[in-house]
Amino acid sequence: MKTVEEIRSLREVKRQELDLRVNMQAKTTEKHILVCRGTGCTSSKSPKIIEEFRRILKEQNIENVKVIQTGCFGLCAKGPIVIIRPEDTFYALVTIEDCEEIIKTHIMEGKFVERLLAKDIDESVVNRLDELTFYKKQKRIALKNCGIINPEEIDEYIAFDGYKALDKVLNHMSPEEVIKEVSDSGLRGRGGAGFPTGKKWEFTRIAEGDQKYVVCNADEGDPGAFMDRSILEGDPHCVIEAMMVAGYAIGANKGYIYVRAEYPIAVKRFQIAIDQAKEYGILGKNIWNTGFEFDLEIRLGAGAFVCGEETALLESIEGRSGRPRLKPPFPANKGLWGKPTLINNVETYANITKIILNGAAWYSNIGTETSKGTKVFALGGNVVNVGLVEVPMGTTLREIVFDIGGGIPDGREFKAAQTGGPSGGCIPKENLDTPIDFESLAKIGSMMGSGGLIVMDDSKCMVNLSKFYLGFTLDESCGKCTPCRIGTKRMHEILTRITEGKGEEDDLEKLKVLAENIKKASVCGLGQTAPNPVLSTLKYFEEEYKAHIKDQKCPAGECKALANVVIDPEKCKKCGICKKNCPVGAIEGEPKETHKIISNKCIKCGVCISKCPFKAISKK
């Protein structure tokens, strides 16, 4: 147990010790080797890299060097990532075998390991993290501590202003003042709908009930999304602190975080954080002798996408099948076990302590007039710098894809980007300069969603993309309401026919009618938004649908039933590589002769396309 005075003292001492993490001018002979231990880098053996660094340092009796595990640095395409502070040297794609050279060359000799330095998008070698174009247009608020602190050490969180916001609200602010600060900041929910956070807190505060609850929705289910997971893995205490601030503001003494069971590292670290907070007396009864009490538990989800919908999530916490409830009543009035309940997602909570410490005016000056602050995106797909980015609201799609993301690999063209996952929509090339905020995305038929941003190049078929996302929502439908359960199935059947070359001329009209009825009649947000990918691709790529139906062709060459694989005789170098690699013997041609593909034998697997070094083979 620690008193609030002891926590304040600890903060000052530890911050001085860890100054070299953020201050490249820190006056110290000590070095910290920061190694990413997020899920991505962990899968690439970063725990072994940490072990190897520590083994070498111990074996060679090297002092004043500490090896620290951190959360995600963001630039996942370069992982495993190793950063050495205070000089901020950024080493990319590090392997276990590289550890000894880093210790010898960098730590002992004071020189860079040139071959491991990260390359920027223009292929120039970059020595420091802050020199990478990937980071220059970002502003890290929710991700502030990720990649800086060891997420399993509460003292490190405290050193970087951890639990300072809780101290401020418990000792210097009333619940009404806390809610006003959140309201004035303009923060809107980062789970997808964008509802004003302060308003939701106020509704729950004034609701009548002898017991109230605070819930964190960490059931991140969008394909390609990993924003919430990375925050929980890299900075779990910031969510705990924010939930406690929320509990104080609305009058709740109990909280639950609902996390996907598929996030084992996040679950482990959050439980460690809960245990540490309890050990320090931060969670529990009569916290810091203020009379405020708060307890927190983890509930594991079983992988159902529909449990990201807030009322389905509540059903699951209560032990029932995760199926949405009819609204109203809303959770703020009748939520968990019929009691007033506040629900926000991980990223929303990750902004709260910064707002309390820096003030509403500071936060509201970031972003646009109606969309304040920053947004975290999981940037994936056909983009050079796959990773996690946090940018001010209003940053354009072009800036995210080309300036931060590094553009499209392999010399291909940008075709579209999908925001909002299976509930969102496609943004075509002509809308690349659209500001990324709630209103601007809605105007062009897309949505913010939780933050998945999938980039697609010109090899991607928009009809096939719609079929994929609709297939996902079809599989994830809870089946409670007919429009979602049956309507999405009928739409998926039509899309399947079209991609197989069996489409009919009135199929597009059928898709539009079905989509509008599903949106209007479904019970929850899953069903109401399920047709969005189809509607947005029909809006911007209708000619591609018509080509599948009328011309029996897939312009992108992605739909196997409609694609023809051809060899360009002008580009063919007669090397025979394609013939050697074809798994079904569908390529004929003698050495030093132009090769041909036998259409009725070709299975359109794409092996020949990937193996041809001269890009002479393509799907048409």
Q: What is the pLDDT of residue 506?
A: 93
Q: Check: CATH 3.50.30.10 for 462-550?
A: no
| Alpha carbon distance 396, 384 (integer Å) | 17
Q: What is the pLDDT of residue 445?
A: 84
Q: Tell whether the torsion through CA atoms of 124, 130, 132 and 136 is positive or negative.
A: negative
| Alpha carbon distance 309, 312 (integer Å) | 5
List where CATH 3.10.20.600 sits in the chain. 374-457
Domain at 374-457, CATH from 3.30.1960.10, 3.40.50.1700, 3.40.50.720, 3.10.20.600: 3.10.20.600
List where CATH 1.20.1440.230 sits in the chain. 462-550
Q: Which fold has domain 154-364?
A: Rossmann fold (3.40.50)
Could you tell me which CATH number the domain at 564-619 has? 3.30.70.20
pLDDT block averages, 10 residues each, the chain of length 620: 94 95 91 96 96 97 96 95 96 97 96 94 89 94 97 98 98 97 96 91 96 96 89 98 98 96 95 98 96 97 86 94 91 96 97 98 96 95 96 96 94 93 90 93 84 92 94 89 92 95 93 93 88 93 95 88 86 91 92 87 87 87
**Number of Cβ atoms within 10 Å of the Cβ of 232:** 28
- Structure token pair of residue 290: 């203020």
| Alpha carbon distance 156, 179 (integer Å) | 28
Which amino acid is located at 439 in the chain?
E
Largest CA distance in the chain: 87
Q: How far is CA 460 from CA 387, 454, 507, 533, 558, in A?
A: 20, 12, 21, 14, 6
Could you tell me which CATH number the domain at 14-128 has? 3.40.30.10
Q: Tell whether the torsion through CA atoms of 214, 218, 221 and 224 is positive or negative.
A: positive
List where CATH 3.30.70.20 sits in the chain. 564-619
Number of H helices, E strands in the chain: 25, 19
| The model's pTM | 0.92
Q: What is the pLDDT of residue 397?
A: 95
